[in-house]
A and B are shown apart, each in its own frame.
Chain A
């Protein structure tokens, strides 16, 4: 008799099997498979005994009290969200990139080589270099300001980082876009840096508006431990150099070099 596989039994136990009736039939006749199922069930039953703390009957009310002050006045409908300042800014950035691509395309038209594909790629890469360079500059500025943040008044016990938080939220959207583009361009090192930066931005964006000096110190320590400021500066500088190069990048040796690291 052919026995059931472990996957068959797990699928059966977890209600994911397409051949439930056949498996049930087999289990009736096969003691070995039944024993195997019992063993699987024992592990799952043991896990079911793990308790989940009861947050209490008034938990929903407490959650509401905690989040209510942080809710914006009114959520926006999907079509309204297209007119949100953040979305408009992103659209503006995209439009600027398209214009930049057009202008760069025009300026390189006269020296066009037969290899049009290569030329397009250079243009794309150059746009990425300019846009990401600026993005890294803005991120660096935000992180530096956050690192230097202090209470407005020494008597205050909390530091207001709401401004940095809002900027981190804005930068997050851009960051995701550039990371994706870098991945598509095969620039894994840049994508990896943007990935690290994204995590830092997430940390800042998800922190409370007002933090205690200890909480702020923890955020700073995280930034420091990741060495993100240093990495952002190094890559930002490198992109700046590439941006200032007299001709569009002739090859992708820089990218390859970074990818090796």
Chain B
């Protein structure tokens, strides 16, 4: 699992300095917001990419999240963590985009065009996600299935899975984004893992079996 887990001390230092940057921005020092953007862009990008599986969409989400955060900065409670807050804004916007995209794709399926077929082809999506030839050669087949399995999750499931598994977010944080209870958020993580497992187990099954039985060489 790839999680960014800075130490408690460094997290606190960043949060404190974020709070100062927020105050300065609110006082009219627009350049202070630059510090927040430069500090948190990479993390927000990672979240957005994992939620959408598409670099272009992820970049748009990052920009929109920081624009929205700026507009709502007056409502941001200084006690809260700016990083978590902008993360939440990005996750919410990503959910909206995923929903919109799914609906558009559903409509396209009804009346496909040549151009759309290229766009919907899972292989083309994978190529978009994996620009380097080395990566493509690693395990294209499995990777294709993983992309498809992730895309098959509902927006809430994908959000819950990305936030919990990859980003290590607290269940309460996920519940806030999904606008649900903590119990429901936990169930959404379960459902996501179960669905991913169902889809991917046959493709990762053989090596796993060997490991589980202790027969792997």
Chain A positions within 8 Å of B, measured between CB atoms, are: 6-7, 10-11, 13-14, 16, 34-35, 38-40, 42-44, 46-53, 55, 59-61, 63-64, 66-68, 70-81, 199, 202-203, 206, 222, 225
Q: Is B71 an interface residue (CB 8 A)?
A: yes
Q: Which residues of A contact B100 (CB under 8 A)?
A: 199, 202-203
With A48-B1, A68-B34: A53-B55 Cβ-Cβ less than 8 Å: yes
A35 close to B62 (CB less than 8 A) = no
Q: Which residues of A contact B201 (CB under 8 A)?
A: 39, 43
B103 to A, closest residue via Cβ: A199
Q: Is B42 an interface residue (CB 8 A)?
A: yes
Cβ of B131 to closest chain A Cβ, rounded Å:
7
Cβ of B49 to closest chain A Cβ, rounded Å:
5
B33 to A, closest residue via Cβ: A71
User: How many Å lie between the Cα of A10 and that of B71 in the bound state?
Assistant: 39
Q: Is B46 an interface residue (CB 8 A)?
A: yes
Cβ of B55 to closest chain A Cβ, rounded Å:
5
B74 close to A78 (CB less than 8 A) = yes
With A10-B194, A50-B143: A42-B165 Cβ-Cβ less than 8 Å: no
A75 close to B25 (CB less than 8 A) = yes
B49 close to A59 (CB less than 8 A) = no
A61 close to B212 (CB less than 8 A) = no
Most buried by A among B33, B135, B208: B208
Cβ of B36 to closest chain A Cβ, rounded Å:
9
B185 to A, closest residue via Cβ: A16
Q: Is B88 an interface residue (CB 8 A)?
A: no
Q: Which residues of A contact B205 (CB under 8 A)?
A: 39, 42
Contact with A along B186-200 (1 / 0, CB 8 A): 100110011011001
B182 to A, closest residue via Cβ: A16
User: How many Å lie between the Cα of A80 and that of B26 in the bound state?
Assistant: 11
B212 close to A11 (CB less than 8 A) = no
Chain B positions within 8 Å of A, measured between CB atoms, are: 1-2, 25-26, 28, 30, 33-34, 37-42, 45-46, 49-50, 55, 59, 62-64, 66-67, 70-75, 96, 100, 103-104, 107, 129-131, 135, 138, 142-143, 146-147, 150, 164-166, 171, 186, 189-190, 193-194, 196-197, 200-201, 203-205, 207-209, 211-213
User: How many Å lie between the Cα of A13 and that of B208 in the bound state?
Assistant: 16
With A44-B193, A46-B200, A81-B74: A16-B37 Cβ-Cβ less than 8 Å: no
A35 close to B165 (CB less than 8 A) = no
Q: Which residues of B contact A7 (CB under 8 A)?
A: 190
With A43-B204, A202-B100: A38-B212 Cβ-Cβ less than 8 Å: yes
A16 close to B143 (CB less than 8 A) = no
28 contacts between A and B (CB under 8 A): A11-B186, A11-B190, A14-B193, A16-B171, A16-B186, A34-B212, A38-B212, A40-B197, A42-B205, A42-B211, A43-B204, A44-B193, A44-B196, A46-B204, A47-B165, A50-B143, A53-B49, A55-B41, A63-B63, A67-B37, A67-B67, A70-B67, A74-B26, A75-B70, A75-B72, A78-B74, A78-B75, A79-B74
A59 close to B200 (CB less than 8 A) = no
- Other-chain residue from A47, A203, A222 in contact with B146 (beta carbon distance below 8 A): A47
With A38-B212, A46-B146: A59-B207 Cβ-Cβ less than 8 Å: no
A63 close to B190 (CB less than 8 A) = no
Cβ of A261 to closest chain B Cβ, rounded Å:
18
With A14-B165, A63-B37: A35-B71 Cβ-Cβ less than 8 Å: no
- Other-chain residue from A34, A38, A77, A222 in contact with B26 (beta carbon distance below 8 A): A77
Q: Which residues of B contact A10 (CB under 8 A)?
A: 189-190, 193-194
Cβ of A20 to closest chain B Cβ, rounded Å:
14
Q: Which residues of A contact B211 (CB under 8 A)?
A: 38, 42
B74 to A, closest residue via Cβ: A77
B37 close to A76 (CB less than 8 A) = no
A40 to B, closest residue via Cβ: B197
B64 close to A206 (CB less than 8 A) = yes
Q: Which residues of B contact A70 (CB under 8 A)?
A: 67
A60 close to B193 (CB less than 8 A) = no
B189 close to A14 (CB less than 8 A) = yes
